[in-house]
Structure 1
């Protein structure tokens, strides 16, 4: 079947058109992105602004047309942190339903962690044993630990790279004292959750997924995306620590010139690196494998596993 997967994130809205069948790996046919920065469109009362809602509604209209013209029989639409945190979520979703006839499922943070766990498990297989999976998004950090496709424990924390950039890193380049304080704060925030995450057992494999970890791996020497998804990529705690010392002295414009850093990600790469370093330190993980599959693939795989279609699927 041909599926449209619409991912409404804190930073970007992404429409992925895939050919997929049960028992097979989804094959991407096209990818369309729009940088909306929805997390920055939340006002002081917690509402998504009219401007942000208008942008989202019109973008989804356009992306729905792309999916239909591409021959998608179904569109699976889901939203994460920015939409989840808004106090007027229902109002915004009602507008999307009215204009695009699309039901958008708002995932909880724990559901994000569980679906990412599914994707990571399918990528590495059962022989990988117990897997610890980490995913840093724009608004939240997801973590899981387990031996099955359903993790023994799944945790979501409001420690996304974009969120921490807005709340902690206003200077350009970042204030060095502020960076030190943020490091200490992250250590305190992660101490309890890390203990809970480690409780089910020591992992045989520690994995990082999502754009932030892929970007950090590239900045510390991993192969570029053009080398394909099957090239082994890793990132180490020492490598991230050295990277922070380098990029935290740079302006956003200078970071955007680094290979592997896009202009829209350049403002939040320092915060993303700090979260990654602190999380690995709290968990006692020195090295992460980088998984090319993450939340979107987990959503697709869950759909293919379910018959009839689950609530996240709408028929055209």
Structure 2
């Protein structure tokens, strides 16, 4: 047998990390050590990588996993403070395959003592510095010799704050979207990578409410590819979440399970209210809304979320089946939209808002913050019209009159005309008139002065929630 027994690389100081203990990440020096360890071990015939569930251990072997193409298998028996009998059980079951095991100092000490009691020759008192490893070898399933390799030498780098790299896989009704971002325990989120694949999943659902088999296969493969992108970006934690399309489809749970198997992490199907709360949490963090009541609006492909609250509490939340892709599929067949189709879309929105409009008007929330693909598309069009930088979306505002005029122009235009509009992106050109009409009607029915655009939304909310979970 051959076993490389690693202690995790240098981690962020405990005093710097205010999140859950198991999520304390490596510091910058630790990441350098992890990459050096991968270079040392990648060509040694490793066929299996086991790790403690602790993030700092999984981060230590992540570069090795990337170099070898092997998965990292988290095993609770390697956790800090795990039951020693179960740890011995794991040690006895490692077999003769070349393995890498990454865990904690005390766990390594316990394993070495276990092997020493069974004949392992260790001439020196066992040491175990962070980023070091023991190589144990033997002819059968029990090691007879041990060799210690000290940690790679790097000048220590004190990062401003320890970070965790999250990857959120947002399985939406219109598109599958991957966000990879670095986050600190105090909620600072910095984007690293974004990828999007337009699938129009919600529009493919059949009359019996199911996602067709061929579409299911495409969705699973798309999710797998995005999961690979997250892995190549060295994501520490992958968080797949599904929204309206899989929430509503009769086979949505089965599709979500298949996607979970493809990416190696179970897919969480969000309820409409969970989706609303996560989005509003992102608004709170990004826009610092303070003590005044604000309204959050998230228009997706399958649903519309409305949330009112301040920086401490949520007063009201609802999820309505008013997504842009959903209403487009139900009511719009012409290009440009016919007068009857326009009336049908507006009637659907008015009907769904009827129970809430009076209360929202009475509360008079300010600001009204909006996010989602349609809102960002409208913001780009408005910025382009004013000759502004199209990257200045966040915090920009569209008043009610400007939104009404923009929606009118979009509804009356043909696809070719929309594609010629400065700021228009091809993948949104067919749905944006319907989405603009939905938002215009929402603004009118709720008596809003306009909309403030947020470039944070559900995906950032998922990361903020993960940081808070223990």
TM value normalised by structure 2:
0.62
Aligned position for 1:313? none
1:105-159 C-alpha deviation (Å, 9 max, x unpaired): 1111111111111111111225362111111111111101112354111111111
Aligned position for 1:183? 346
In terms of Rg, which structure is larger? 2
Q: CA deviation at 1:160?
A: 0.8
Considering Cα pairs closer than 8 Å and 6+ residues apart, tell me whether 1 or 2 has the greater RCO. 1
Distance in 2, Cα, partners of 1:91 & 1:151: 32
Aligned position for 1:210? 372
Match of residue 163, structure 1, among 292, 307, 326: 326
Q: Which moved more, 1:16-25 or 1:248-257?
A: 248-257
Q: CA deviation at 1:240?
A: 1.7
SS in 2 for 1:133: strand
State yes or no: 1:297 paired with 2:457: no
Distance in 2, Cα, partners of 1:132 & 1:228: 18
Aligned position for 1:85? 248
Distance in 2, Cα, partners of 1:73 & 1:298: 17
Aligned position for 1:310? none
SS in 1 for 2:391: helix
- Unaligned 5+ segments in structure 2 are 1-163
Q: CA deviation at 1:236?
A: 1.6
Distance in 2, Cα, partners of 1:38 & 1:291: 24
SS in 2 for 1:127: coil
Distance in 2, Cα, partners of 1:55 & 1:16: 20
Q: CA deviation at 1:256?
A: 2.5
Distance in 2, Cα, partners of 1:207 & 1:134: 6
Aligned position for 2:233? 70
- Cα separation, partners in 2 of 1:239 and 1:128, compared to 1, 3 Å: farther
Q: Which moved more, 1:207-216 or 1:50-59?
A: 207-216
Report the RMSD for the aligned CA atoms in angstroms: 1.8
For residues 269-280 of structure 1, the aligned pairs below 5 Å read: 269-280=432-443
Number of residue pairs aligned between Structure 1 and Structure 2:
304
Q: CA deviation at 1:42?
A: 1.0
- Cα separation, partners in 2 of 1:126 and 1:235, compared to 1, 3 Å: closer
Distance in 2, Cα, partners of 1:45 & 1:149: 42
Q: Which moved more, 1:184-193 or 1:131-140?
A: 184-193
TM value normalised by structure 1:
0.90
- Unaligned 5+ segments in structure 1 are 308-316
Q: CA deviation at 1:280?
A: 0.9
